Amino acid sequence: MLIEMQDVHKIYRMGKTRVHALAGVDLQVAAGEMLAIMGPSGSGKSTLMNIMGCLDRPTRGAYTLEGEAVAELDNNALARIRGERIGFVFQTFNLLPRTPALQNVMLPLMYQHGRDRRRLAEEALARVGMADRMDHRPSELSGGQQQRVAVARALVTEPAIILADEPTGNLDSRTSREIMQLFRDLNDEGVTVVLVTHDQEIGDCAKRIVRMRDGRIVTDGPAPHMHPQEMSAGAEESVAAAEAKGSLTPSGSSPPTSSVSS
C-alpha cells in the first residue's frame, strides 16, 4: 500500500481553543489510484493533504508512506520525502513568474547531481503538452498552460504520488476539463493522483471519491469516472478547443475527443 493512515488526528491550538481539524481518519491509497477528496469548506481536506504530503505531522495516529512511518520522522527526513516522493500542484500554480518554464521545472532537481536536469525537465514539459513553450515565462502563459508547467514540475522527480489541492480552482470550466484530462492521462500512464476539489464534476472525473465532514471521512467509494469532456458548460466548444490545441494535448490521450460530431 502506498499510503496507510490509521486513526489520524490533527488538532490546531488557537490560543485557548483547540480545532480538531482531523478527528480520526483511516485511509489507504494504492499505487495507481486516482482519488478525489471532497467536502465542505473547513472539513479538513487541506489538513489531510498537508499530512499526506509530509508538510505536517499528525497530532496522533499512524501514517505510513511507502512503508515508512512518517509520524516519527524529523523535519529533515520529512523534507527529503517531500522532495523525492511527493509532487505538489496548487490552486495558484506557485511558479516563479519571471523564470522560464524550463527553469521552473528544473528547480526540484536542484539537489540531484550527476543527472541531466535539463533533459528531465524537457521530458516532463513534453509529457504535459508544453514542449513548444519551454522558454516562455509563466507571465506569458495562460492559466491552463501555467498549471501544465506546474504539473511538469511535480512530475519531474518521478514522485510516488501527485497531490493537487483544488488544482482547477483558478481555471475556467473548459480549462478545468483540460487539466482533468491531463491528470487522467497521467494516471493511465501509472501516476498516482490525489486531488482535492469542492466541485462535484471535477470529483466525478476521478476513480474514487472520499468525502469528508468535520474532520472525518463520511463516504469512500468508486467515482463515476466521468470523462472530462462530459462535464457541463459547452461540451462541443471544449471538443473544438481540444482539437484546435492538438499540440497541447499530451500524446496518448484518450480517444473520445478525436471523434467529433459535426
- What letter would DSSP give residue 41? T
Q: Does 197 bind ligand ADP (CB under 6 A)?
A: no
Q: Is residue 42 a contact residue for ligand ADP (CB under 6 A)?
A: yes
Nearest-CA neighbor of 211 among 223, 224, 200, 220? 220
Pick 46 or 112: Cβ nearer Mg ion: 46
Nearer to ligand ADP by Cβ, of 90 and 254: the residue is 90
> H helices within 38-116, ranges in order?
45-52, 75-85, 101-106
Q: Which is nearer to ligand ADP, 47 or 187 (CB)?
A: 47
Task: Give the Cα separation of 26 and 20 in Å (integer).
Answer: 15
Does residue 145 touch ligand ADP according to CB under 6 A? Answer: no
Binding site for Mg ion (CB under 5 A): 45-46
As measured in angstroms, the least distance from the Cβ of 151 to Mg ion is 19
User: With respect to Mg ion, which residue has the nearer C-beta, 38 or 152?
Assistant: 38
Residues 6 or more apart whose Cβ sits within 8 Å of residue 67: none
* Sole window of 40-48, 95-103, 180-188, 216-224 interacting with ligand ADP (rule: CB under 6 A): 40-48
Contact 28, 60 (CB under 8 A): no
Q: What are phi and psi of 94, to 5 degrees?
A: 55, 45
CB of 42 to Mg ion, least distance (A): 8
Binding site for ligand ADP (CB under 6 A): 12, 14, 19, 21, 39, 41-47
